[in-house]
Each structure stands twice: as structure tokens, then as C-alpha cells.
Amino acid sequence: MLPRVCEPPPLDPKLEADVYREMDHGDVNRGFVRDLFESGPVGPRVIDLGCGPALIPITLCETAAAIVEGSRPAVSHGSDLSSLQVMGVDHCVDMLELARVELEFAGMLGQIQLEQVDLNDPDGLQSELAETVISNTVLHHLESPINALRLGIKALRPGGRLFVRDLYRPETDREVERLVELHGGSAEAATSGIDPRQLLRQSLHAALTLEEIREIVATLGIDPGCVNMTSNRHWTLDCVRPERQS
């Protein structure tokens, strides 16, 4: 089993934010939002922990609008999507600046709110703010992922839903390299000088195994069975806010 190796802090946060935005996460983001809607209720208030350039909040709102208009099949979970409001939070100022540009371009400055929040700060969010808290491939960036999960649970209203997806750490370097070959894109295509394949490699080494995330959620009062593998490199946690708060 490979040990977990946390990612090095970015030497140039703005450059890394630009690199992230340059990478094509469209299919992954759409898959995340599709699975979110298909597997449970959403909103009307949603918080995205570690929103980055706000591409998932934008996709979320676009999908909700299509469902309300009838151009996409309706979800059968009693979600009030006509009044959906999303708060995207991130600690990186440069990411939030990119997000504001994306929101302005998408015409969603009124529907999506941005806040700078440290996911390690237990007071970063007020209690019981939203019916749904989501997060996509953020926990592996954190030295102590449990802090972000605690914050997400705190921000949920009673009966609210936590939907978190992140990378899975393979057992061998060989498997890491196989996934990098499959999903890392082309180093030659990067215009920033930073190899996206190396970023993915570091992320896979920094990710949690299924066993590790299940152990973490169990300490938070969540059934470990709520965490399952959902792709060849992702696990997903989908649960209701636990009654017991740790």
C-alpha cells in the first residue's frame, strides 16, 4: 500500500489556479452534477466546499434550470429547484477571482454567491445554512480532510444531504501511472509550463483510500457504507447529516 503523501504548497497560487482552469474537467463536473441530482434531493440552498473557478455551481444551476423548464427529465426527490441558490466557498483568492469571471460570463452573479473560507477553520461557516453541501475532488488537497467534513456537516440543516467525491489512492505506483496515462491529458498541451500529468500524479498520492475515508466518516457518526467507489479513481460519500455531531 502506498503511503499518503500530501501535496506540496503551490509556489505560485495564481499560476496553479490558471492551470486548473486550463484543464478540461467538463465531463467530470457534468458527471458529478448528474449523479447528485439522480441520487437524492438537492437544495434549495447548496454550499460547494472548495468551489475553485465555480464550474460545478454553474453546471448545477444550468442543470436545475433545464429540469424546471422541462428540457431535462425531472428528478423525483421533492427538490425545489425553482429557487435554487448556491454558495461557493474557497480559501484561494486567485481561484475566487477566476470564479467571479466565470459567474459574470455565465450571467449567474445573482444566483451564486462566493465566499473566502478556510476549510480547516471550524468557524468558517455558520451552522445550519443549507439543505445540501457538496464537494468535488477537494479533500485530497487538505492535510486533515476531516476538518472540511466537520465544517460541511455543521453547515447542513437537520436532515440535509452531504455529497462528497474525491480521488482514490491506488495501492501501487504502477496503478498511479496507469491512471495518469488514462486521465492526465497531454503535457505538450499545457500553455502554462506546468505539467497537468504531474498535478494528477501528486493528487493521487495525496488522496485517501476507501478504507481511510470510511474510518474518518465513522468517527463523524456517518455509516461507512455511505462511501463507495464510483469510478476507477473516485469514491463518493452520499449521506444525510448525522444526528450525532463530533
How many domains does one find in the chain? 1
Specify if 5 maps to a domain: no
pTM (predicted TM-score): 0.93
pLDDT digits (tens, 9 = 90+) for 58-91: 999 999 999 998 877 766 576 778 899 999 999 9
Q: Which set of grid coordinates corresponds to residue 174?
A: 504502477
pLDDT at 23: 65
Specify if 157 maps to a domain: yes
- Percent of the chain surpassing pLDDT 70: 87
Specify if 152 maps to a domain: yes
Specify if 187 maps to a domain: yes
Specify if 99 maps to a domain: yes
Inform me whether the pLDDT recorded for 188 exceeds 60.
no
CATH code of residue 17: 3.40.50.150
Specify if 8 maps to a domain: no
CA distance 89 to 221: 24
Inform me whether the pLDDT recorded for 131 exceeds 80.
yes
pLDDT at 9: 79
Specify if 80 maps to a domain: yes
Cα–Cα distance list, 13 to 85, 94, 120, 188, 218 (Å)? 28, 7, 18, 21, 33
Give the number of C-alpha atoms closer than 13 A to the C-alpha of residue 122, restricted to the C-beta side.
Answer: 4
Query: Please, which residues bridge with residue 115 across strands?
Result: 89
- Percent of the chain surpassing pLDDT 90: 76
Mean pLDDT of the chain: 91
Specify if 178 maps to a domain: yes
Instruction: Give me the domain span that covers residue 142.
Output: 13-240
pLDDT digits (tens, 9 = 90+) for 196-240: 888 899 999 999 999 999 999 999 999 999 999 999 999 999 999
